[in-house]
A and B are shown apart, each in its own frame.
Chain A
Amino acid sequence: MSVLASSALTPVRLWRGFASATRLGWTISSNWTRPFVFLIYTVLRPVSGALILVVMYRFITGNRGSTVAYLSFLVTGTAFWGLVQNGLAGLANGMSEDRGFYRMLKYVYLAPLPFPLYLVGRGLAQLAVALVSAGVVLSLATIALHLPIDPLRVNYPMLALASALAMAAVLSIGLTYGLLLLGARDSHGYGEIGAQVLYIASGAIFPIAVLPHPLAAAAALSPLVYWMELVRRSLLGGQALRMFPDLSDGTVLLRLLLTAAATVVLAALAFGWADRNARRRGLIDQEANW
């Protein structure tokens, strides 16, 4: 009894395990090169993505004054989208890599640390990388494109709260999706497909009202739409192009809270099922012929 009690998972041990998982995720992401080169690779993709949209915007509108708000809409959306890309595709692909390439998923699964906690830690490292690139993209764009973002007037509490809620939803989707993908014969590219579907339905680069009505209605159930709205309101204030002009900040935040909570609950149920399925089918330690 005393042995069992001493080996129980105390909060301190849970924290240590979680911190190790985060450190491991960070190391896997970044130790293939020097920090400076890693930083360049990290920002190359989102910066190029933002440039594509800026040039498209200029080509289509001819820089008409009446459409300037849309430029801020595009840049803020694409800058923060990296968090979803890394949190979902990065985590889902990471799980497949842990199993097939590094062949260590089963050891993590067998360790005393709860498996979902390891996955969240692994995903947090991906989010940290995305956060840096979002900061770089926004800073560059604000200076180069004269976006109306004033660092002293940003509503940081709302930005942080909205982002925390959205990331809880994204990580819960990511770890469930990743576990489900372990059952696929070949899941290469499926993480990106999942993120790309959300990209279309999240209002990241165009208002969801542009989508056909049934799709727009479905998109309104996603927490990411409300997150994107709050990100823009936090950064741009009254100059933000709004997807929900009739809703107050509080109402949008409430909708984000409800949809994020529903997403986390649904993802947890799906994760439980996927976990039992993975154990029954022997997917955790399956040879993936990477």
Chain B
Amino acid sequence: MAEPTGLRLFLKAIRARSYPRLKSVFRNRAWLFTEITLPLLGTVAMVYVYQALRAPRAWLGFVVLGGAMMAFWQNVLWSMGTQFYWDRAEGNLEIYCVAPSPLTGILLGMALGGIVISVTRALAIITVSSLLFGVGYRAGGVLPALGVFAVSLAALYCLGMLMASLFLFYGREVWHLAEAFQEPVYFLSGFYFPVRTLGALVGGAASLIPLTLGLDAIRQLLVPGTPVFFPIGWELAAVAVQVPIYAVASQLALARLEYQSRRDGRLIVRTS
């Protein structure tokens, strides 16, 4: 039997690692419920704050779109960033490392499966909150917004791959680290308000998170009256540049940390 080529092995690793995630889209009902309900409740709470302050109805779209993007950030944090940590605790990481398939393929498989899971959650959040609060969107902006969304997701999940490598170095504190990355990122990326409100300095620094500019561009396309942080073209270009940067950085980090983990015996450290 012929040995599989490097490319074929790479693609098979992607397919194999994304498979359990794709299967879990609807099979794990407890997670389905949690992953939709948590961001939905957060979105509903913020919509009521907008209503309490008598904000124009069109602005509720800011919150709903931010709430939907929250599903992606939570997925990147908990199912990408901390995944190798869980895998190590369960003994999977050492199997990944002794298998002939590259770790990059495994990370990409995780990302692809995670994107599919999060898209289903985000769609549910947008549908339910838009119907609940009667939020409308600019129909002509839907197709371009989908394009911006795709580029943003590519950059975001490349960042997730980088985080997966970096988080591997942590022990019990990884849980707290992931939690610490939640609210600050909701704030910096302007999940519940247009990022322009943060000002040039903070908003500019927050643009290192792909969701910041991606979400702002999507809002400009879909929600009338969105304050412009940067023109859509610039924001799209900035997010597109982040894709190769985070992809290369994740590969470098992965190679470095895999070597260091092998040397220090961290690949087989169990934290439970």
Contact = CB atoms under 8 A, between A and B. Distances in A.
Interface string A177-199: 00000001111111011001101
Interface in A18-49: 32-33, 41, 44-46, 48-49
A41 B46 contact: no
Interface of B: 28, 30-31, 34-35, 37-38, 41-42, 44-46, 48-53, 55, 59, 171-173, 176, 179-180, 182-184, 186-187, 191-194, 197-198, 272
Interface string A73-105: 010000000000000000000000000010000
Contacts, number: 100
Contacts of A57: 53
B48 A70 contact: no
A60 interface: yes
A45 B272 contact: no
Interface size classification for chain A? 35 or more
Contact of A48 (B28, B42, B172, B184): B184
Which of A41, A45, A60 has the most chain B CB atoms inside 10 A of its CB? A60
Given A41-B179, A58-B197, 5 more contacts: A33-B176, A101-B272, A192-B38, A193-B34, A206-B49
B272 A290 contact: yes
Contacts of A55: 187, 193, 197-198
Contacts of A41: 176, 179-180
Nearest to B62: A59
A240 B90 CA distance: 52
A66 to B, nearest CB: 11
Contact of A206 (B28, B31, B48): B48
A70 B53 contact: yes
A58 B184 CA distance: 18
A32 B172 contact: yes
A196 B50 CA distance: 17
Contact of B44 (A46, A56, A101, A200): A200
B176 A60 contact: no
A193 B180 contact: no
A140 B212 CA distance: 26
A193 B52 contact: no
Contact of B49 (A44, A53, A58, A184): A53
A140 to B, nearest CB: 14
A52 B53 CA distance: 15
B177 to A, nearest CB: 8
Contact of B48 (A32, A49, A61, A211): A211
Contact of A205 (B45, B55, B183, B197): B45
Contacts of B187: 48-49, 51-52, 55
A145 to B, nearest CB: 15
A57 B49 CA distance: 9
Nearest to A97: B175
A70 B184 contact: no
6 contacts: A44-B184, A45-B180, A56-B46, A59-B193, A60-B50, A196-B45
Contacts of A45: 179-180, 182-184
